[in-house]
Structure 1
Amino acid sequence: MKHGLRLKIGRLAVTGAAFAAGLSVPGTAQAPGLVMLDGLAKGEWTIKSRDGTIDRRVCVRTGRELIQLKHGGPECSRYVVEDSAGEVTVQYTCTGDGYGRTNIRKETASLVQLRSQGISGGLPFQFQAEARRTGSCR
C-alpha cells in the first residue's frame, strides 16, 4: 500500500473515531451556523480595546462584522472552530493580507467580549476588547 493512501485511511479512521466520540473535527466544524451572532442586537456597536487604543464603532447587521476587525475584505475564507449558544470562534484567511482567529463570547444580546490574533499587512496583532451596542447605525 502506498504511503499517501495509508495517510488518507488513517485520517479517515481518526476523524470517524472523533466523530463517534462527539468531538469536533474539521469536517463537522465547517457548518455555516454562528447562530449566537444572529441573536445579537442590531445597530451601532462601540468596541473598547483593553490596551487603551481609540474606541471603534461598527454597524452590526448580522454579528459577523465582529469577526474580522483587522481585515475588512469579504474575500476572506472562514473556518468555524466553535459554534455554541454563548460563544463562537472563527479562524479566517485573507489571501494576500494575512489571517486571524477571533473568539466572541456573549454576555447579553448587546454586550460581548472579543479576543483576536493573527497577521495583518505582514505584522502580528493581538487584542482583547469589549463590544457593546450603543445606538442605531448612521
Structure 2
Amino acid sequence: MAIAVLGAVAVPAYGQKPELGMLDQLDHGEWVLRERGDGGTTHRLCVDNGRKLIQLRHPGLACNRVVVVDAPNQVTVQYTCRGRGYGRTHIRRETNDLIQIDSQGIVDGLPFSFAAEGRRVGDCR
C-alpha cells in the first residue's frame, strides 16, 4: 500500500515543465530591444538562452533568483547580486520571437527602470 501511495505522489511531479520553460522556447539569435521612452533607444544582443534576458542590467553575474510568476506566456523573477545590486524582471511572450520586458532595480548603487519590446531579427553575427 505504501508503495502505491508513493507512486501516486511521484506521477504529477514527473509531468511538470521545467522552471522558466517559457524562456527556453524563445528563438535563439540576434534580438533588438527597443526601450519605451528615451527616444526608443535600441540595444542588440545575441540570445543563445532566453534566461539571459532576466538580468540585462547585471549580465554574467551569478545572482540568487526567486521565481515569482512562472506561467506559459510570462515570467517574473526577482534576483539579488551580492554587493552589486538587485532586480525584478517581468517578461511576457507574444510569440517566440517577440517579447515585452519590464525591469527595475539597483545596479552598483544606482536605480534603473526600463520597459522594452524585444524582437528577434536574425541569426547572431
1:97 paired residue number: 84
Q: Residue 105 of structure 2: which of 86, 105, 118 is its match?
A: 118
Q: In the aligned structure 1, how far is the partner of 2:45 from the partner of 2:64?
A: 21
Q: Secondary structure at the match of 1:64?
A: helix
Which one has a larger percent strand, Structure 1 or Structure 2?
2
1:58 paired residue number: 45
Paired positions, count: 108
Whether contact under 8 Å (1:58, 1:65) holds in the other structure is no
Extract unaligned runs of 5+ from structure 1.
Answer: 1-30
- State the identity as a percent: 57
Q: Structure 1 length normalisation: TM-score?
A: 0.74
Task: Give 1:84 deviation, angstroms.
Answer: 0.7
Deviations 1:85-120 (A, max 9, x none): 000000011111100000000000100000000001
Task: Give 1:73 deviation, angstroms.
Answer: 2.8
Match status 1:135 vs 2:102: no
Extract unaligned runs of 5+ from structure 2.
Answer: 1-16
Match status 1:48 vs 2:34: yes
Q: In the aligned structure 2, how far is the partner of 1:89 from the partner of 1:134?
A: 24
Please tell me the root mean square deviation across aligned C-alpha atoms, in Å.
Answer: 1.5
